[in-house]
């Protein structure tokens, strides 16, 4: 039973919520190796929430929100599907979000490595 302030009493499990801190969610989905790194990127302005800049690591995200992360490797847009309870294995982390960039067919062409543009491929032919 929750106490008067709405918080659970001692020994009582917290009530489940769909909301989670932004830095914690980014850590759970394995976007960053630590919560500290996630918080630093958020504070530096490298993360947007629903298109708006977000500089507070404690900002809450809920299912349906779109989190956009700018990283040296590129920009990723992630749709929040669930808050997650822990940082689990990669397979578990992938159930917490949908990568909106993967739905872009042009991006799939860029990610595909068919070796057609490999500069280290041996040339055919030779001196005649």
Q: Report the candidate in 92, 69, 64 with the shortest Cα–Cα distance to residue 79.
A: 64
In a domain, 127, yes or no: no
Check residue 77 and give its pLDDT: 96
Residue 89 lies in a domain: yes
Range of 79's domain?
20-102
- pLDDT for residue 105: 52
Which pLDDT score, from 0 to 100, does residue 38 have? 96
Whole-number pLDDT of residue 115: 43
DSSP string, 52-103: EE---TT-EE-TT-EEEEEETTEEEEEEE----SS---HHHHGGGEEEGGGG
* pLDDT at site 109: 38
- In tens digits, the chain (128 residues) has pLDDT values of 555 555 556 665 555 578 999 999 999 999 999 999 999 999 999 999 999 999 999 999 999 999 999 988 889 999 999 999 999 999 999 999 999 988 655 444 334 344 444 444 445 555 65
What integer pLDDT is reported at residue 72 of this predicted model? Answer: 82
What is the structure's pLDDT at 103? Answer: 64
Q: Please report the pLDDT score of residue 65 as a whole number.
A: 97
In total, how many domains does the chain have? 1
Q: Give a yes or no: residue 125 inside a domain.
A: no
Question: In CATH, what number is assigned to the domain containing residue 93?
Answer: 3.10.290.10
């Amino acid at each position: 039973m929750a106490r008067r302030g709405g918080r659970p009493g001692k020994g009582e499990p917290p009530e489940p919520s769909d909301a989670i801190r932004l830095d914690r969610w980014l850590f759970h989905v394995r976007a960053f190796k630590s919560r500290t790194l996630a918080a630093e990127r958020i504070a530096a302005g490298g993360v947007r929430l629903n298109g708006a800049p977000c500089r507070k690591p404690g900002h809450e995200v809920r299912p349906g929100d779109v989190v956009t992360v700018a990283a040296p490797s590129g920009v990723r847009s992630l749709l929040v599907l669930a808050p997650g309870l822990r940082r689990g294995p990669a397979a578990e982390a992938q159930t917490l979000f949908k990568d909106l960039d993967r739905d872009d067919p042009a991006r799939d062409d860029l990610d595909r490595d068919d070796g057609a543009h490999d500069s280290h491929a041996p040339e055919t032919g030779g001196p005649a």
